[in-house]
Amino acid sequence: MRCCSRFSLTIVCALLIAVTAARAAELEQLTRDGRLKFTPVFRNGGKELVFVELVSPTLYQIRRLVLADGSNEPLHANAPTSEFEPAWSADGACYAFLKTRSALSVSIVIRDKQGVDLGEILPAEGFCGYRSPALAPDHSRVAFSFAEKGTQQIYSAQLNGQDRQRLTEPRGISNWPSYSPEGKSIVFGSSQDGNFEIYRMNANGTDVRRLTDSPFQDIRPRFSPDGNSIAFTSYRDGNAEIYVMQADGSTPRRVTKSSERDDYADWHPGGKRLVIVSERQGKHDLYLVNVPR
Amino acid sequence: MLDIGAFRTRTCGGFSRRSFLQLASSLPLALALPAGATRAAQPIKAKSVIFVFLWGAPSHLDTCDPKPDAPAEYRGPFGVIPTRTPGVFFSELLPRIASRSDRFSLVRTHVTTAPGHPDAGTVALTGFAESPLPVQPNFGSIVARARGDQGGLPPFFSIARGVVMDGGRRIEGYGGGTLSHAYDPFLVGCSESGGVEFPALELLEGLNPLRIQDRRRLSTQLDSAMHRVEQDGQRMWTRKVQSAYDLLLNPAARQAFDLTRESDATRSRYGYTTFGQSSLLARRLVEAGVPYVQLNYSRHVEALNPGFEFGWDTHIYNFELLQDQLCPILDRAFTALLDDLYDRRLINDTLVVMMGEFGRTPKISFRAARDHWPGCYFSIWAGGGVEPGRVIGASDKRGEHPRDEPISPLMVGTTIAHLAGLDTQARAEMNVLSGGKVIDALL
């Protein structure tokens, strides 16, 4: 009898743990149109989301979703060409995004919160473009990824493009820079050691440390608002899933679990939830997910 | 879900002659031809063919022919995963396709003669270069000529929002070539939500064929449209109009185009993307008896060019575009297509061929991407008389050149025609695919 009671207690505990874990991974769906979406970011204290959607077969559009009423509209209503990868400064004073100028020619545009241009970093002649702009918390500089001489590296520059400095060694493909909240560190993804892993460095490019070690892609890292955690996408369990680890790379925890794709995590300012793009039943939508403790 | 929307012309002065000719050339004249205009001369193993055209050219190293042991400046940043075929690895970007490798055969030794899209596109679709003229017929036009009308549907469909293009230039090998425009493909577009469009029939503003009940009403609208085009195009219009009647009023055609007849489960397996739902449309057309469907990943090659669809031409952002968009969409849709054909027992009679017009530079380019590479690329073959699970040839250790016998686009077309029932004599009588050899290792 005692044995049976212990067994029952064990089962109940196991179920409780399972339910708790399942609840931690519950998704709250924010959009329902199912179109391809990319790179959502919070702004305005977490009241709004800005994301990229393939609104027609030929156009990426940056859109703004107001969480309170669900309104969803273009950020730049009259943009004639593809715009993508928006990034906001921590204080919301300015933002950056990529703009397609012509065939395979992409610049970084930086604007203040009123929409006034602060600068545009132009691509070189020919096929050329930038990726993944990230604004320093004090918006004194913008970090981005740029390719030349067969590698793609992280750079930073003033908002007008002046004082461009390469921060990473010219090996492999480096991308997705994300500033820590105080602006002293940058976390990024790189194939400098073979395949995509997550690295951390000082904002001036010194003291590079590798944080992950997986034979499959670890990409798109994002510092949490308190700087203690990093969310990222990993293929280590067979397809794209969201993980969170400590800022030193320790204790990685899986946040999502689906046979479909979960990607593009960004932290809610409260630090307890992430917005992600999830593919569910073949549709791509924005979801909120709790970060497991 | 079948929409014929407003016609738009860039001339702003009404309907241009070019626009009208686009309309006329897309209509299914072949419907009016007698069935089996040229009879196939040997057993038909592939009653239908789906040619999945990865227009713009995917990187072979980052998809189906990875080189994990190559130097860093070649191999790229992606990991590799095992397939179900012993000793064969794919990029980690294609896990679903890798898990179905026992359902298809892989060719890794393709070469082509042209380094640029327009000509290489024509070579890929016809087996021959654009010049010297005349342009040879698309493989689909050859099969269409052999089969003729099948159950009231055109024998050759090309799924895209128009003729495949490189920038503003049409690919000359898109259609009937020496066999005449009668064997051009019927163009049909498909949106990410499954809405089917006839790009050139947009001249008939507001017309929805699923709701057409009155033939006289359609006739009135067509007559009205005809009066709006230039005089010199009217003769061609008259020739085509009966075919338009047949297609738009044909219950079989309307049913084939209506993706809402599929369950949500089936539609979601393909994914709600343009290519996903287009792949489902391809399966429905095959199920309806269409002999040849060219399923284009995109209408345009460009990866990121204002006004153009996102294709596989990744001169910049190769790795990002592959991991963000191109490979996930392809992996889901192509796997769903294969599984669906198997589940419905269509695969034995349906040949599926998937390839681009060339490969991409094994050595990573100045802009950390990959450029055009005609020296080596891959294809995937399934069903329709092809033995699954085989690997035909290998590329060298950097993926630069075939280590074994090179396989040309002409051999691809000859093999398709062979499996579709056209033997050497039938091809000679049609004066097509001259000098082509069958890829025996696939059979």
Nearest residue in chain A measured CA to CA from B369: A150
Chain B 163-202, residues with CB within 8 Å of chain A CB atoms: 167, 192-193
* Cβ contacts of B72 on chain A, cutoff 8 Å: 171-172, 194
Q: List the domain boundaries for chain A.
A: 30-290
Q: Residue ranges of the alpha helices (H) in B298-368?
A: 318-321, 327-343
Counting every residue written for chain B, the total comes to 443
* Cβ contacts of A38 on chain B, cutoff 8 Å: 324
CB atoms within 10 A of CB A221: 26
Q: Which residues pair with B45 in a beta bridge?
A: none
Tell me what pLDDT residue B415 has.
98
CB atoms within 10 A of CB A161: 15
Residue B31 three-state SS: helix
| CB nearest to A195's CB, from B79, B307, B363 | B79
* Cβ contacts of A281 on chain B, cutoff 8 Å: 264, 268
The residue among B167, B107, B11, B121 whose CA lies nearest residue B392 is B107
ipTM of the complex: 0.91
Q: What is the largest CA-CA distance in chain A?
A: 80
Q: Strands B48-53 and B292-296, how do they pair?
A: parallel
Tell me what pLDDT residue A49 has.
98
The residue among B413, B372, B331, B387 whose CA lies nearest residue B97 is B331
**Nearest-neighbour CA in chain A from B94: distance (Å):** 10
Nearest residue in chain B measured CA to CA from A196: B77
**CA A8 to chain CA centroid, nearest Å:** 43
Q: Give backbone dihedrals phi and psi of B375, rounded to 5 degrees, phi first.
A: -80, -10
Sign, CA torsion A235/A237/A241/A242: negative
The residue among A89, A59, A92, A87 whose CA lies nearest residue A74 is A59
Tell me what pLDDT residue A3 has.
44
Put simply, whether B95 touches A (Cβ < 8 Å) is: yes
Number of A to B CB contacts under 8 A, please give it.
118
Domain covering A30-290 in this structure, CATH number: 2.120.10.30
Left, alpha or beta for B76 (phi > 0: left; psi -120 to 50: alpha)? Answer: left
CB atoms within 10 A of CB B415: 28
d(CA B142, CA B140): 5
| CB nearest to B368's CB, from A104, A150, A279 | A150
**Nearest-neighbour CA in chain B from A15: distance (Å):** 30
Q: Which two tokens stand for residue B239?
A: 């020739």
d(CA B153, CA A283): 31
d(CA B45, CA B138): 20
Tell me what pLDDT residue B389 has.
97
Asked whether A241 and A262 are in contact (CB, 8 A), the reply is yes
* Cβ contacts of B199 on chain A, cutoff 8 Å: none
Q: Strands A128-135 and A105-112, how do they pair?
A: parallel
Residue A59 neighbours by CB under 8 Å, 6+ apart:
A81, A82
Residue A200 neighbours by CB under 8 Å, 6+ apart:
A185, A186, A187, A188, A208, A209, A211, A230, A247, A249
Residue with tokens 């939830």: A273
| CB nearest to A196's CB, from B77, B161, B368 | B77
d(CA B422, CA B426): 5
Chain B 365-424, residues with CB within 8 Å of chain A CB atoms: 365-369
Please check whether the domain covering B2-442 is classified as CATH 3.40.720. Answer: yes
**Nearest-neighbour CA in chain A from B279: distance (Å):** 13
Amino acid at A278: S
d(CA A159, CA A141): 6
Tell me what pLDDT residue B38 has.
53
Tell me what pLDDT residue B249 has.
73
d(CA B357, CA B379): 10
Q: Which two tokens stand for residue B75?
A: 């191999």
DSSP annotation of B402 reads: B
Asked whether A181 and A226 are in contact (CB, 8 A), the reply is yes
Q: Which of A32, A35, A36, A264 to mutate to test the interface with B (most CBs of B within 10 A)?
A: A36
- Give the pLDDT of chain B (443 residues) as one tens digit per residue: 333 322 222 222 233 333 333 444 444 444 444 444 455 567 899 999 999 999 999 999 999 999 999 999 999 999 999 999 999 999 999 999 999 999 999 999 999 999 999 999 999 999 999 999 999 999 999 999 999 877 778 899 999 998 999 988 999 999 999 999 889 999 999 999 999 887 656 544 445 444 455 555 566 666 666 565 555 455 545 444 456 556 767 777 888 889 999 999 999 999 999 999 999 999 999 999 999 999 999 999 988 889 899 999 999 999 999 999 999 999 999 999 999 999 999 999 999 999 999 999 999 999 999 999 999 999 999 999 999 999 999 999 999 999 999 999 999 999 999 999 999 999 999 999 999 999 999 99
Left, alpha or beta for A29 (phi > 0: left; psi -120 to 50: alpha)? Answer: beta
- Give the pLDDT of chain A (293 residues) as one tens digit per residue: 444 455 454 444 444 444 444 444 689 999 999 999 999 999 999 999 999 999 999 999 999 999 999 999 999 998 999 999 999 998 899 999 999 999 999 999 999 999 999 999 999 999 999 999 999 999 999 999 999 999 999 999 999 999 999 999 999 999 999 999 999 999 999 999 999 999 999 999 999 999 999 999 999 999 999 999 999 999 999 899 999 999 999 999 999 999 999 999 999 999 999 999 999 999 999 999 999 98
The answer to whether the CB atoms of A106 and B316 lie below 8 A apart is yes
Amino acid at B17: R
The residue among B171, B100, B30 whose CA lies nearest residue B339 is B100
* Cβ contacts of B73 on chain A, cutoff 8 Å: 150
* Cβ contacts of A283 on chain B, cutoff 8 Å: 268, 272
